[in-house]
């Protein structure tokens, strides 16, 4: 805890340690967004090959758990697991909301609404983060973070072209708003958890896998699909290769980098920077699937990036300029 406070004060004083920590957080947030952005294309390919949306999510979670649990035991050892036990309640909440809930509800929303609307609904999450910090925690919101969220949300509306083809299915709308709430919970929970990112991500994967097992019904999955080819970018690709990418890059690396970034920045700033994920996802679809971008989408992408830039500058403001936070534990990010 004292070390966590040291890091926070270092960032507030603008010292070399705080500056490096802030730069690492921003870089990790961008890496996380880029990795997450590839999940839509590869996940959609697996769904098109015969897996259901919940089954695709379950495969991501189960595959991640198979990778991360042994990795934790080898790299961190049993002591790291024991150290995380006192935090089991927020760990369970993180797995149910930030991992299982966010992904499952987004897939449900996307299956009943235009994908652009589903993305826009999910990315109300950063707005909910600011609202929770201001009204539930009764803490001031960094102006830069708030401005960045507003600018990025406006840019995202242009990227997804919200004005075209809007059809608000009640279940889809509820699922999209649920995904936003889960995304907000992800940032808010991780910000206060003093747990090694590797242990935290592994726990989230295990909890997510268990919680989605009944909905995914893995015993009824078309497992034979993984041995064949699936359509991608006008051609064919090995289904198993897409799953490996989905697990290792779009889930393991994405969550590890995301958790570490929130622990180095804060929920306000990291949530705003995550808007770059939507822009990256559009870019991946353009490169891989040949989906051309309209001029308004390109402009929207630039606006989103501008919002993320405005938000990340808020990380450089001295903490003392806000309010005393001695009673609030600030996690010291690990690796």
* Count of residues making up the chain: 335
Q: Which residue has the higher pLDDT, 146 or 317?
A: 146
Q: CA angle 252-60-93, nearest 5°?
A: 75
Pairing of strands 229-232, 235-238: antiparallel
- Residue ranges of E strands in the chain: 229-232, 235-238
Q: What is the pLDDT of residues 3-31, one digit of tens each?
A: 333 333 333 434 455 678 778 888 888 88
- How does pLDDT run across 69-80, given as a tens digit for each residue? 999 999 998 888
Going by C-alpha positions, the residue among 28, 25, 60 that lies closest to residue 248 is 60
Q: What is the mean pLDDT of residues 55-74?
A: 93
Structure tokens at 117: 């609307």
Confidence of residue 328 (pLDDT cuts 50, 70, 90): very low
Q: What is the largest CA-CA distance in the chain?
A: 58
Which residue from 40, 267, 276 is spatially nearest to 151, judged by alpha carbons?
A: 276
Q: What is the mean pLDDT of the chain?
A: 78
- The answer to whether residue 63 scores a pLDDT higher than 90 is yes
Residue entry with tokens 């919101």: 141
pLDDT greater than 50 at residue 119:
yes
- For residue 308, pLDDT over 80 is answered with no
Could you tell me which residue, 266 or 70, shows the higher pLDDT?
A: 70
Place of tokens 């991946």: 284
- pLDDT of 114 reads 62
User: Which is nearest to 55 in space by CA: 185, 243, 189?
Assistant: 243
CA angle 95, 99, 100 (to 5 degrees): 85
Using the 8-state DSSP alphabet, how is residue 320 labeled?
G
d(CA 281, CA 267) in angstroms, rounded, equals 22
Half-sphere exposure of 234 (CA within 13 A, CB side): 7
Q: Tokens 């990315």, residue?
A: 123
8 Å CB contact between 113 and 173: yes
Query: Within the chain, how many helices (H) and strands (E) appear?
Result: 17, 2
Nearest to 220 by CA among 90, 83, 97, 55: 55
Q: What angle do CA 55, 57, 62 make, to 5 degrees?
A: 90
Two tokens, residue 107: 């897939």
What's the average model confidence in pLDDT over 208-236?
88
pLDDT at 298 over 70: yes
């Amino acid at each position: 805890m004292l070390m966590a406070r040291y890091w926070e004060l270092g960032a507030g004083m603008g010292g070399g340690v705080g500056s490096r920590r802030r730069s690492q957080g921003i870089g990790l947030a961008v890496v996380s967004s880029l990795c997450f952005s590839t999940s839509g294309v590869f996940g959609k390919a697996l769904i098109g090959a015969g897996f259901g949306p919940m089954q695709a999510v379950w495969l991501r979670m189960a595959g991640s758990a198979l990778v991360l649990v042994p990795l934790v035991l080898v790299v961190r050892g049993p002591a790291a697991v024991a150290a995380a036990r006192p935090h089991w309640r927020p760990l369970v909440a993180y797995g149910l909301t930030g991992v299982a809930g966010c992904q499952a509800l987004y897939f449900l929303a996307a299956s009943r609404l235009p994908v652009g609307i589903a993305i826009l609904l999910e990315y109300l999450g950063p707005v909910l983060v600011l609202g929770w910090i201001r009204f539930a925690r009764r803490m001031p919101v960094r102006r830069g973070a708030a401005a960045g969220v507003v600018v990025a949300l406006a840019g995202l509306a242009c990227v997804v072209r919200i004005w075209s083809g809007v059809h608000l299915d009640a279940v889809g709308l509820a699922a999209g708003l649920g995904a936003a709430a889960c995304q907000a919970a992800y940032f808010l929970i991780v910000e206060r958890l003093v747990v090694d990112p590797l242990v935290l991500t592994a726990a989230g994967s295990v909890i997510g896998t268990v919680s989605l097992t009944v909905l995914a019904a893995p015993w009824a999955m078309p497992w034979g699909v993984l041995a064949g080819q699936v359509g991608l970018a006008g051609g064919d690709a090995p289904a198993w290769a897409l799953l490996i990418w989905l697990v290792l890059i779009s889930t393991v690396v994405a969550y590890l980098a995301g958790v570490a970034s929130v622990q180095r920045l804060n929920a306000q700033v990291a949530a705003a920077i995550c808007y770059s994920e939507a822009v990256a996802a559009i870019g991946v679809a353009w490169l891989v699937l040949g989906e051309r971008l309209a001029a308004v989408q390109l402009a929207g992408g630039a606006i989103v990036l501008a919002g993320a830039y405005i938000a990340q500058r808020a990380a450089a403001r001295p903490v003392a300029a806000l309010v005393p936070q001695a009673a609030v534990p600030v996690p010291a990010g690990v690796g």
